Amino acid sequence: MTTLDHKTEPGRQNGSIVWKNLSKYVSIFLVLALSGIILLLRNIHTLEKLNCQTVSTLYQVQSSIHSAFTPDGSSLLYHNHSYCVHLGQEPLPKEAQEERYLLESIAWPEAPPRDTPLRQTSDPAHSQFTILSAGGGREWRVGDQLEALVHMHDFQGHPKRHGGDFLLARLHSPELGAGVAGQVFDHRNGLYSAMFPLLWEGSARVEVTLVHPSEAVAVLRRLREERPDRVFFKSLFRSGFLSETTMCNLCLPANQQPLCNYTDAHTGEPWYCYKPKMLGCDTRINHAKGGYQKHLLTNKEALLFQSGVNIKVPIRASGSDRVVVQPEEKDKPDVDSSSGRVVPSGFYFQGSWQALGGVAVRQFNDSSAITQCLKGKVVSMYGDSTARQWFEYLNAFVPELKEFSLRSPKNVGPFMAVDSTHNILLRYRCHGPPIRFSTVVASEMRYVANELDGLAGGPDTVVVISIWAHFSTFPVEVYIRRLRHIRRAVVRLLDRAPGTLVVMRSANLQALDSEVSLYNSDWFSAQLDSVLRAMFRGLDVLLVDAWEMTLAHHLPHALHPPPVIVKNMMDTILSYICPVRSKRASGDWWRRRVRG
């Protein structure tokens, strides 16, 4: 026993020594573990606060690196847009036929060779227009149609021999506060005719502007078909302390990484995000614009988009750019509308919009008149920020309307204003993706067609829709599909509630420079606008012609038109809601002159 005790004593001493040594490091281990947890939580918090600008910068860096290995900075992912176009529900045979007709109706003249040097492209400084005479030496009179013949030349002064330039024209009189949009016809040989109806007495000045040369339009067409990713989006995914941000778009290459499919169950409208590495697709929190892809053009193509050189530059007149219009000739016979005369939707006179068809446009210059018109009405506005601009106008101009806080992000919505005394409800909600707003809660991402299906409708319901600006980067087929779903919902709404008033807003002109042109060119908007008008023609739907209202006005173009134009737009809508039956519409005299 004595020998055993003697042998075990050193073991106990060694164990005691080891435990003492380990105890020295326990505190160190605990401090390291605690520091690691704190660092992890701080990183997660930083990741959650990753904002749009940061993500945009990251993607821009990624794009810059990628462009260094891609010829001319073009993406290899989007060389074929067919997978983007044919996503979603298959159209009915009749709808597919309509789509082919729509695409043919907006087909642009074939462009010159892609490698055309700048000196051989359209130059507004060398081009000119001439006002053709009235014929027979007679004077211009109200009711006549004026034609200006545009001769396009290149930078060397040589006449152009093909068409495809994108031109705008207007006739205006600053002294009278008058203006009307002209219609441009492409003869496809370097000549263009700008046609104007003469609607007022006195001075009238012709203005013709080159928005883009034909060679630039060819580049825009290529970008629209091959680079639907040039505006990209992102979504934040979160579960507990873990969060991730991934890129999203209407069409994403499926061979890059796994996708989350957010295709709408009712409309079939597609939307996708790259799946987070550590989270499920059902943890999506929000949607936001990520940024704009850069390096879209070659150096040669970039020369076609120069502010002050070939983007929205006026073309000079070879002679006088003015005419003096005399009063309408008495007992002049009516003119058949099939004779090729242009009939705009309206014109400005003394700063006010005068419609040439439908109801007379009243001037709602005080808030009490607006309140009386909207009494007992529910006005629902859907769409992009140009629809939100109308909500903001009414909410600011009518003091009786009190905005009810829905705790929505600024400039995003949804928004609601109420006048409980006069039983007025005003609402705005943005349309579903693609939408380039800063941050939209995922649960608030709703498609216009679905919202319309949720309306009861009726004579006290007004629906206003503006959807165009966020579709300019996608193939036109994408826009046709979206309008098709909205049109179906409008037809269903009018069937169940025939008294519902539905108003569509057209696209409008905006300021352009070398960068904005690649994403939001007026050429993109003009194509979409033509599609919208054709698809809703014949339905019991009214149109606010924002295109002509911005083209005919003397103020500079802007994505969000200035207040004076917005007022004229709202006067038009309110005149639709509260028409004056006892007075002759302001455009009746012109409709009598041009029989349809």
For 324-383, what is each residue's pLDDT tens digit? 999 998 866 665 555 578 999 999 999 999 999 889 999 999 999 999 999 999 999 999
In this prediction, residue 56 has a pLDDT band, given cuts at 50, 70 and 90, of very low
In this prediction, residue 584 has a pLDDT band, given cuts at 50, 70 and 90, of very low
In this prediction, residue 280 has a pLDDT band, given cuts at 50, 70 and 90, of very high
Q: What does the pLDDT look like over 96-106, one tens digit per residue?
A: 999 999 999 99
Kindly report which listed range (251-260, 465-474, 483-492, 550-559) carries the lowest average pLDDT score.
Answer: 251-260
So where are the chain's domains?
A: 52-89+231-292, 361-579
Give the chain's mean pLDDT: 86
Most confident of 7-21, 71-85, 209-223: 209-223
Q: Give me the pLDDT at residue 27, please.
A: 63
SS (H, E, C) 471-534: HCCCCHHHHHHHHHHHHHHHHHHHHHCCCCEEEEECCCCCCCCCCCHHHHCHHHHHHHHHHHHH
21 pLDDT higher than 80: no
Q: Give me the pLDDT at residue 252, please.
A: 87
Amino acid present at 121: T
In this prediction, residue 137 has a pLDDT band, given cuts at 50, 70 and 90, of confident
74 pLDDT higher than 60: no
pTM score, whole prediction: 0.84
In the Cβ-directed half-sphere of 393, how many Cα atoms lie within 13 Å? 25
Query: What is the token pair recorded at 239?
Result: 């579960």
The backbone torsions φ and ψ at residue 337, rounded to the nearest 5 degrees and listed phi first, read: -65, -20
User: What dihedral angle (degrees, nearest 10) is formed by the CA atoms of 331, 333, 334, 335?
Assistant: -140
Q: Give me the pLDDT at residue 75, please.
A: 37
Q: Which CATH superfamily, name and number, covers 361-579?
A: SGNH hydrolase (3.40.50.1110)
13 pLDDT higher than 60: no
Q: Using CB atoms within 10 A of its CB, is residue 469 exposed (0-12), middle (13-18) or buried (19+)?
A: buried
**All residues at 6 or more sequence positions from 59 whose CB lies less than 8 Å from its CB, including other chains:** 232, 247, 290, 291, 293
Question: If you average pLDDT over residues 45-73, what whole number do you get?
Answer: 36
Q: What does the pLDDT look like over 176-228, one tens digit per residue?
A: 999 999 999 999 999 999 999 999 999 999 999 999 999 999 999 999 999 99
443 pLDDT higher than 80: yes
In this prediction, residue 504 has a pLDDT band, given cuts at 50, 70 and 90, of very high
Q: Does a cis peptide bond (omega within 30 degrees of 0) precede residue 434? A: yes
What is the radius of gyration, based on Cα positions, of the chain? 31
